[in-house]
Structure 1
Amino acid sequence: MSSQELASLDQRWTAYQDLPELTNHWYWRPGWRADRQFYTWHLTFEQQPELHRLVNDLHQHLAIPGLDLVPLDGLHLTMQGLGFTDEIADVDVRAIVAEARRRCALLPPLELTLGPVDPDAEGVGLLVQPWDRVDRLRATLRAAIGAIWPAVPESSDGFRPHVTIAYSGSPAPTEPIRSQLANLRNRPPARATLNQVSLIALRRDNHTYRWTTVAAAPLNSI
């Protein structure tokens, strides 16, 4: 684990010890509503049995009031947003996808490890390593968007790769969760190899994120 990743993990764990209660993750962010979808590039984790075994194991210990467990088919790593689907022209989507495919084809598949548990006020995630490879892919996606649009949405700063396995569903006390997490921090991480990044239309559905895959940009497997 690099010094950057270790420092983040340690800082967040220390902060969590002083957190009295969770923050409800499911408040409506600006522009969001029940009938609206959002275009965003995500890494998704279908057909990743090692990760699924780890998450199933952790879920057995995190079925705690206040936490909404993320289903296996809802696991994701948020990479780069585009905007609400009702605000972006189809021609722009097609152009961005084509540019992303061209650029992502020059990158190798992502070989990642996920774990240990990494909590915050809005849920429990898994630390993703190494960050530099995910950062490179995100920069590639941003460059693809910037080749089509004069400005790239969202800031390039403050990106922290993580995969959430449980979201906070209410302002519940953290002490019972802290007690469980202390026993789970030494679980060995899971490995995952990802061969593409997906553009999805994301929606919220009963305290879960669901999506329709719009397109995929394969990573070079040669």
Structure 2
Amino acid sequence: MLLTASPTAFPAAPPPSTDDPHIIAAHDWAAFGSVDQMNNHWDRPGWHSSTRAYYWMLTFADAAALTEQMRSCQQRLASLEFDLIDEDGLHLTLGRIGLTNEVSGAQLHTLRTRASARLPDAFTISAVPMAASRGAIRYSVAPWTPLINLHSDLSLASDQCGLPLKKPTSVLRPHIGIAYCNRTQNAHEVREAIRPLRDLPAITVQIGQVELVELRREDRAYRWRTLAVLPLR
């Protein structure tokens, strides 16, 4: 799958390599280097306390080394006063399927069946400290190729059910957030706070399943109800 540049993605252009962790991390950092001002992550039209939507997601509540390092990084970034992600809220978003009131139970059942039939083999990724976007502090992730392949398979299953994902695979930019910006803030201050964390070691995480969840926003945090856990081969 060929990744393409898009103004809706961050970074807008894909990295020169989708597998080399050093190139991916440097590309993410360079993209954040062009940001002058961070924005309130929660200022998103269309999201309300009553909004519920179906998503494909990877979660990491059982990845002890990753959650331990995340907590350490969050403590070192406490002066920024961002909204911190809880251990059970750590995730990698793969794609939005649709609002719950727009997707029928029959469609959801068919989607689960078709997605299960075409999932790839389990794989390993590395969470690489640390970068940021316009609205969040986050890990870079490498390699992208197995995530791109997984997203492509899920996207095809969604297309077959008449539920195209909100964003195509071509604009996928995998990352794992640890803290959300909750106001307008000078990005230079955030860069200086993050910079020392970039010397921390990457954390290896095994990806053996993908989850279908019903997502909501609650008290400036994402919460979800897991509807299905689909094991990779």
User: After TM superposition, is the score higher than 0.5?
Assistant: yes
RMSD: 2.0
1:200 to 192, 201, 213: 213
Q: Which amino acid aligns with 2:57?
A: H
Paired position in structure 2 for 1:3: 17
Question: Cα deviation per residue 1:129-162 (whole Å; 9 max; x = unaligned)?
Answer: 1100000100110111122227554323211110
Q: Which amino acid aligns with 2:61?
A: E
- Percent of matched pairs sharing the same residue: 28
Question: Cα deviation per residue 1:58-105 (whole Å; 9 max; x = unaligned)?
Answer: 11111133421111111111112110001110000000011111111x
For 1:167 and 1:219, the matched residues in 2 are separated by 30
For 2:163 and 2:135, the matched residues in 1 are separated by 33
1:69 to 73, 81, 84: 84
For 1:201 and 1:165, the matched residues in 2 are separated by 20
Normalised TM-score (structure 1): 0.90
Paired position in structure 2 for 1:55: 70
For 2:83 and 2:206, the matched residues in 1 are separated by 26
Whether the 8 Å contact between 2:135 and 2:181 is mirrored in structure 1 is yes
For 2:202 and 2:163, the matched residues in 1 are separated by 40
For 2:92 and 2:163, the matched residues in 1 are separated by 26
For 1:186 and 1:103, the matched residues in 2 are separated by 38
1:19-98 map, 5 Å: 19-29=35-45, 31-98=46-113
Cα–Cα, structure 1 residues 21 and 217, in superposed 2: closer, same or farther, change >3 Å?
A: same
* Structure 2: stretches of 5+ with no match in the other structure: 1-14
Whether the 8 Å contact between 2:98 and 2:165 is mirrored in structure 1 is no
1:157 to 153, 170, 175: 170
For 1:201 and 1:133, the matched residues in 2 are separated by 24
Q: Tell me how far 1:183 sits from its aligned partner.
A: 0.7
Question: Cα deviation per residue 1:172-212 (whole Å; 9 max; x = unaligned)?
Answer: 22333222211111100111112110000001111111000
For 1:152 and 1:12, the matched residues in 2 are separated by 24
1:98-137 map, 5 Å: 98-104=113-119, 107-137=120-150
Question: Cα deviation per residue 1:106-139 (whole Å; 9 max; x = unaligned)?
Answer: x221211101212122111101111000001001
Q: Tell me how far 1:27 sits from its aligned partner.
A: 1.0
Paired position in structure 1 for 2:161: 148
Normalised TM-score (structure 2): 0.86
